[in-house]
Amino acid sequence: MNNLINKVAENLNKNNMEAFVVESKEEVLPLLKSLLDDGTSVGVGGSVTLNEVGVLTFLREGNYKFFDRYAEGLSRDEAVEVMRQSLLADAFITSSNAVTESGELYNVDGNGNRVAAFCFGPKKVIVVVGANKIVKDLKAAEQRVKTIAAPLNCKRLGIETPCFKTNECISLKNEEREMCDGCLNEGRICSTYVVSGYQRIKDRIKVIICKENLGY
């Protein structure tokens, strides 16, 4: 696993993304602190990984301008406005649905705000991933979302899509499927697909790979 993680980090670096490797989740917050200047504005993407690491509390208690989409008492419209503001933050912290051995980030989103941040907007995007997110290639990344990430997220969020019940995407029944095939449920969380390969802005995307498993 060490060799694999080093290979992924090397390939992320080749793709102009700055990779960091940490041994455990306890090392993530100190590293994040070193990457964020005091007073910086920060947004976050929805992520079990960030919850497991304690990122939300860290941002609330730190000296940051945190666009907190989860703040108590926010209406849905207010939360969406915070998500919009987060796209112009100095930094955006998120996880990734998968990281390929070749150093690509693969993400699928329902609202689209999280994947939008990967593409453009925040000056810096910091991605926290556990070793469980590493996959061989983009095909395996697609499979990972359709059989692990999406079903578990639908269960977590209580969205009764087909995969909520069967633990895999309905599109897997079709051998001829295209990547974006899926259900027609109005709560579908797999709407927008983004692959981050070689980046024009060097080190705008920073990837912290934790040797432990985090999120799903």
Q: Which residues bind ligand SF4 (CB under 6 A)?
A: 146, 150, 154, 161-163, 169-171, 182-183, 185, 188-190
Nearer to ligand SF4, 141 or 169 (CB): 169
Element (H, E) at 41: strand 41-44
Within 8 A by CB and 6+ apart from 133, the residues are: 95, 96, 97, 98, 99, 144, 214, 215
Nearer to ligand SF4, 134 or 189 (CB): 189
How near is the Cβ of 159 to ligand SF4 at its closest, in Å?
7
User: Which residue's entry shows tokens 């498993």?
Assistant: 213
CA distance 87 to 121: 5
Question: Which residue of this chain has its Cβ atom nearest to ligand SF4 in the complex?
Answer: 182
Nearer to ligand SF4, 146 or 206 (CB): 146
DSSP for 182-212?
Answer: ----TT-S--EEEEE-S-SSTTSEEEEEESS
Question: Is residue 28 a contact partner of residue 50, using CB atoms and an 8 Å limit?
Answer: no
Nearer to ligand SF4, 28 or 183 (CB): 183
Nearer to ligand SF4, 122 or 151 (CB): 151
Task: Using alpha carbons, select from 205, 195, 194 the residue that is nearest to residue 13.
Answer: 205
How near is the Cβ of 83 to ligand SF4 at its closest, in Å?
20
Task: Using alpha carbons, select from 180, 31, 205, 201 the residue that is nearest to residue 108.
Answer: 180
How near is the Cβ of 127 to ligand SF4 at its closest, in Å?
21
CA distance 206 to 193: 20
User: Which residue's entry shows tokens 């995307």?
Assistant: 205
How near is the Cβ of 139 to ligand SF4 at its closest, in Å?
16
How near is the Cβ of 110 to ligand SF4 at its closest, in Å?
8
Nearer to ligand SF4, 149 or 210 (CB): 149
